[in-house]
Structure 1
Amino acid sequence: MKDTARIRTALALAVRANLPVLLWGAPGTGKTSSVLALGRELDLPVEVVVGSVREPGDFSGLPVVHEGGTRFAPPRWAERLAAAGEGLLFLDELTTAPPAVQAAMLRVLLERTVGDLVLPAGVRIVAAANPPGLAADGWELSAPLANRLVHLDREVSAADVAAGFAHGFPDSGAADAVAPSAEGVAAARAAVGAFLRVRPELVLAVPEDPGRAGRGWPSPRSWEAAAVALAAGRANPGAPESEAAVAALVVGAVGEAAGFEALSWLRTLDLPAPEDLLADPGLALPDRADRLHALLGALVAHVAADGGAPAWERAWEVVARVSRTVPDVAATAARDLASRRPAGAAPPAALLELAPVLRAAGLMPGEAA
């Protein structure tokens, strides 16, 4: 049951966090029915768009002469979602969509735009696909399309199916899940950014093999998705199999090798909470630069979410401590913190100690970055 719960929770977290997610599985494993059930669970309309029976114009819009110019009219499914203001756009059978249709889907996934219509923020995108070898006239996913999705493998066990037939299939838990906060996403981005400072070669690694390029792989876009997934997990720690679900989302975004390495690094951070650090700026700090990057990034995110002058002023004490041993790390945090100065905040005394760091960061009057 654990594997099933893991993917079910991962789907719920992705939908709440507005991450476009792709369910992979063999034909007949219930991918479509699970998405339709998710819509019922969340009381959202579901628009099913099957890739094999669509043309590029169903995503890029049909050119129509209008008032002496040309507009690109969206299809009816997009108009219905726009009118509802929220819903699930279910892109089914992605691997049966020919390359021209896959290319037209790119703008929908990245910009949430269909023709001249922008889909509301309340519309979530879920897709499903059979492995190309099991799809009718199957195509590999193009690398650009694959990199816009978080990939989840839907697993089916005899015990789960038997229990579902006997007692009904359980809900995904999406109704109880909450979206990550802006502060939570910013803190997760800081942690991921700190990892990428240690492993810069993983920022972008496009697979040469078409099959691997059609799944998750590292890019700035997919690392952003991984950070949002981390934030979603932290916002829902009580969800069933939450830690395993987050791992599935991170690996589904950036691939197994990069994903597991990042998760292993993140588990060993053991950093003080930003609020504890602000309450006692003398708390012990990590001695490694990568951990300090993650700590100060989370601190700046917390201060930005707090929005108050006291938190902003106390944060400078922590930055000043870091500047004594790792000035480069402090300079990065100083730049971010200075840009978030709240109204009425007085320059703290710690700024005198930070003058060399601020000068290096281009934050002193008359200094260039």
Structure 2
Amino acid sequence: MTEALNQLAAADELLAATRATRVERRDNVQLEALALAVSANLPVLLWGEPGIGKSSALQQLADRLAVPMETVIASIHEPSDFAGLPVVGDDPATQGVPMAPPDWAVRLTRSGIGLVFFDELSSAPPAVQAALLRVVLERRVGSLELPPGVRVVAAANPPASAADGWHLSPPLANRFVHLHWTHDPEVVARGLAGTWPTADIPRIDPRRAASALARARGTLSGFLTARPGLSHHMPSDAEARGGAWPSPRTWEMALRLLTFALASDATREALATALVGAIGDGAGLEFITYLEELDLPDPNRVLADPGAFALPERGDRQLAFLTAVVSAVQSNPSRPRWEAAWTVLAKAVDAGVPDVAARAATDLAAMRDKSWPVPPTIDAFVDILRLSGAMGR
């Protein structure tokens, strides 16, 4: 018996040695896009064939962040496992009947931070997918609300590869950033030799963060003004509806991705991959091309010296720029910045395009503190502001 136990101990020791690996920082767009979306706290769905390392990549990310990860196999759960099971208390007529959450949700709530990983999502029947809607969107599991520090990631096999696979319902699919996971033979060979790639969460630069949201708002506003048909476009076939497509919800996800990328050291390739994963191939590629050609100046620098900039020539770029300037004032309002923004808007009037600045002027007028005097540059927008009611305010 002792000899057998010694042999098992030796086997366990050898087994542990086969699992011991190291990681290295290496350019990998898939991992970087995943890290960007997780940093922005957006739900992510990894699509890929079985056995190519989706779960392992997420576990490595959790280890890198030093946060707990809870894995939930969606395909083997019932809807009540996500909606919660009713627990009758002492006086349900006055206290109601709370819905008890599962143990994994309780552990994550106690930790306050971590990753919840819903695996085999495409093998979950429609009733389970419907129950997951509230978890992904509202972050509620039964009567328990997941803390803000908990990130949601899922994985799915294409329906053709999944056991009893289903297409994702459009409401659930439209809540994820979809990343298509593939394997690189070189990465596999190096990993089996003992070293796997990893990615870091993008580092936020406080100096860039102040302008990132304003620039992102201006960029998306300019693009969707030029391409209004892309604000919402649900595909006609079931398979495409189960993936990424543009909607107001996914454009809001794109806004967050762009903001985090502009404020951090995230690569352009990672941003492009994540954007396509949020709003789909067609809208994503068109928006990325627009983004590369836009090159908006820093709105805070413009507000610091409003007389030293030149207005862009194209109308959509003018609108993007003016929207970014107004958004920058809104994020940090003060009388000097507010007056500087009116100087910027006046340049649009001088350039012969007051209609482009009209919407920005209305928003800017609504920010005025009652103690701030009306600047003379507002004269060009008096009629527009009177019609909108902003003059009275």
Cα distance in structure 2, aligned partners of 1:295 and 1:44: 39
Unaligned ranges ≥5, structure 1: none
Partner of 1:255: 280
Cα distance in structure 2, aligned partners of 1:358 and 1:90: 50
3-state secondary structure, aligned to 1:48:
strand
3-state secondary structure, aligned to 1:133:
coil
Cα distance in structure 2, aligned partners of 1:267 and 1:175: 20
3-state secondary structure, aligned to 2:391:
coil
- Higher mean alpha-carbon deviation, 245-254 vs 159-168, is at 159-168
Q: 1:38 aligns with which of 57, 61, 64?
A: 61
- Higher mean alpha-carbon deviation, 158-167 vs 25-34, is at 158-167
- Contact 1:132–1:139 (CA<8 Å) still a contact in 2? yes
- Contact 1:178–1:236 (CA<8 Å) still a contact in 2? yes
Q: 1:129 aligns with which of 156, 167, 170?
A: 156
1:295 equivalent in alignment to 2:321: yes
Cα distance in structure 1, aligned partners of 2:205 and 2:77: 34
- Contact 1:25–1:153 (CA<8 Å) still a contact in 2? yes
Cα distance in structure 1, aligned partners of 2:70 and 2:370: 46
Partner of 2:47: 24
Cα distance in structure 2, aligned partners of 1:322 and 1:175: 36
The aligned runs of 1:64-83 (5 Å cut-off) are: 64-66=87-89, 67-68=91-92, 69-83=96-110
Paired amino acid for 1:260: L
Cα distance in structure 2, aligned partners of 1:226 and 1:192: 9
- Contact 1:23–1:129 (CA<8 Å) still a contact in 2? yes
| 1:23-45, Cα deviation, whole Å (9 max, x unpaired) | 11111111111111111111111
CA-CA distance at 1:296 after TM superposition: 1.2
Cα distance in structure 2, aligned partners of 1:362 and 1:356: 10
Q: TM-score, normalised by structure 1?
A: 0.92
Cα distance in structure 2, aligned partners of 1:341 and 1:364: 10
Partner of 1:286: 312
3-state secondary structure, aligned to 1:159:
helix
Q: TM-score, normalised by structure 2?
A: 0.86
- Contact 2:214–2:325 (CA<8 Å) still a contact in 1? no
Cα distance in structure 2, aligned partners of 1:42 and 1:175: 12
Partner of 1:220: 248
The aligned runs of 1:238-249 (5 Å cut-off) are: 239=266, 242-249=267-274
CA-CA distance at 1:110 after TM superposition: 1.1
- Higher mean alpha-carbon deviation, 286-295 vs 162-171, is at 162-171
Cα distance in structure 2, aligned partners of 1:74 and 1:178: 38
- Contact 1:331–1:360 (CA<8 Å) still a contact in 2? no
Cα distance in structure 2, aligned partners of 1:16 and 1:294: 25
1:234 equivalent in alignment to 2:262: yes
Partner of 2:292: 267
Q: 1:148 aligns with which of 175, 183, 188?
A: 175
Paired amino acid for 1:33: S
CA-CA distance at 1:177 after TM superposition: 6.0
- Taking only aligned residues, the RMSD between alpha carbons, in angstroms, comes to 2.3
Distance 1:338 1:244, change over 3 A: same
CA-CA distance at 1:270 after TM superposition: 2.8
Cα distance in structure 2, aligned partners of 1:346 and 1:219: 41
CA-CA distance at 1:193 after TM superposition: 2.0
Paired amino acid for 1:310: P
1:92 equivalent in alignment to 2:115: no
Paired amino acid for 1:7: Q
CA-CA distance at 1:338 after TM superposition: 2.9
Distance 1:121 1:346, change over 3 A: farther
Cα distance in structure 2, aligned partners of 1:182 and 1:342: 22
3-state secondary structure, aligned to 2:150:
strand
Partner of 1:335: 362
- Contact 1:320–1:354 (CA<8 Å) still a contact in 2? no
- Contact 1:4–1:155 (CA<8 Å) still a contact in 2? no
Cα distance in structure 2, aligned partners of 1:107 and 1:76: 17
Cα distance in structure 2, aligned partners of 1:120 and 1:348: 45
Partner of 1:59: 82
3-state secondary structure, aligned to 1:65:
coil
Distance 1:87 1:341, change over 3 A: farther
CA-CA distance at 1:228 after TM superposition: 1.4
Percent identity, please. Answer: 49
Paired amino acid for 1:76: D
3-state secondary structure, aligned to 1:82:
helix
Distance 1:116 1:338, change over 3 A: farther
- Higher mean alpha-carbon deviation, 267-276 vs 337-346, is at 337-346
- Higher mean alpha-carbon deviation, 165-174 vs 295-304, is at 165-174
Partner of 1:120: 147
Paired amino acid for 2:71: V
| 1:132-169, Cα deviation, whole Å (9 max, x unpaired) | 11111111111111100000011211111112222411
Cα distance in structure 2, aligned partners of 1:175 and 1:323: 40
Distance 1:312 1:293, change over 3 A: same
Cα distance in structure 2, aligned partners of 1:103 and 1:159: 39
- Contact 2:72–2:119 (CA<8 Å) still a contact in 1? yes
Partner of 1:13: 36
Paired amino acid for 2:324: A
Cα distance in structure 2, aligned partners of 1:219 and 1:337: 27
- Contact 2:366–2:390 (CA<8 Å) still a contact in 1? no
